[in-house]
Amino acid sequence: MAAVQGSDAQLVARCRRGEAAAWDELVERFSRYVFAICTQGFRFAQHDAEDVFQDVFTRVYAHLDRLRDDEAFRPWLAQLTRRACIDKLRANGREAPVEELEPSELDETLSMLDEALTIHEAMAALPENCRDILDRFFAQDESYRTIGDALGLPAGTIASRISRCLDKLKSLMEETDADARLEAG
C-alpha cells in the first residue's frame, strides 16, 4: 500500500497540469474506493465491475476540467461512479427509475466507504511497517504466516504488532480530529 502524498486537491491540480505521475497516483489512491462502490455498493460481479471501473476513470480523465472545486473531488468521484453503475445496469437491460435501480442501503454503504477511505488516507501517516501489516491483514486477508514470510517477521508476533498499529492509528485519528476542531475554532 503506497503512502498518500498531498491533499486530494493538490493531486487533482497536478493532474490538470498534465503530470503523468500524478495521474498514476490518483488512480492508485482512489482505485479501491471505486472498486468498492461497484462491488459492495452495487454488488456487481467482477466482469461488470471491471467495465464500470474503467468507465469511471475514463470519465474522470476526460472531465477533470469540469470539476469546479478541487476540494470536492471525492464526492464528485462518488457521484460519477454512482452514475456509471446506473448506466451499466441500464446497459444490462434493467429499465427502472434510478431510485429503484439503486440498492436500498446504498447511501449507508457509500457513507461507510467514505469513512473507510478517510481511514486509509490516515494510514499513510503511519510508519511503513504498520501500514503494510494492517493492510495485508485486514484489507488483503493475508494470514499471519503469509505476512510474517513477506515482512521477515516471526508469525507469532504479528497479532501483537497489529494491535499496536491499531493503537497508533487510533491516536493519529484523534490528533487529526483535535487539529480539525482547533482549525474550525
Partner 1 sequence: MNADDHIMLARLIAALPPAPRGWVGAAQELPVARRGIDGIVARAVADAAYRERVVADLESALADAGIEPTPPLLDELRERFRSI
Residues lying near partner 1 in the complex (CB under 8 A) are found at: 1, 20, 23-24, 27-28, 31-36, 40, 46, 50-51, 53-55, 57-59, 61, 112-113, 115-117, 119-120, 123, 134-135, 138-141, 163, 166-167, 169-170
Side-chain half-sphere exposure of 118, counting CA atoms within 13 A = 13
Alpha helices in the chain (DSSP H): 8-16, 20-36, 46-63, 73-91, 98-101, 106-123, 128-134, 144-151, 158-184
Using the minimum distance from each CB to partner 1, give the nearer residue, 128 or 183: 128
**∠ Cα 163 116 7 (to 5°):** 105
Using the minimum distance from each CB to partner 1, give the nearer residue, 36 or 100: 36
Using the minimum distance from each CB to partner 1, give the nearer residue, 119 or 155: 119
In angstroms, give the least distance from the CB of 28 to partner 1. 7
Q: Three-state SS for 169?
A: helix
In angstroms, give the least distance from the CB of 134 to partner 1. 6
Using the minimum distance from each CB to partner 1, give the nearer residue, 82 or 99: 82
What is the separation, in whole angstroms, between the first and last Cα of the chain?
Answer: 34
Using the minimum distance from each CB to partner 1, give the nearer residue, 55 or 102: 55
In angstroms, give the least distance from the CB of 29 to partner 1. 11
Nearest C-alpha neighbor of 61 from the set 97, 30, 98? 30
Nearest C-alpha neighbor of 58 from the set 101, 89, 87, 36? 87
In angstroms, give the least distance from the CB of 10 to partner 1. 19
In angstroms, give the least distance from the CB of 61 to partner 1. 5
Instruction: Quote the DSSP letter at residue 40.
Output: I
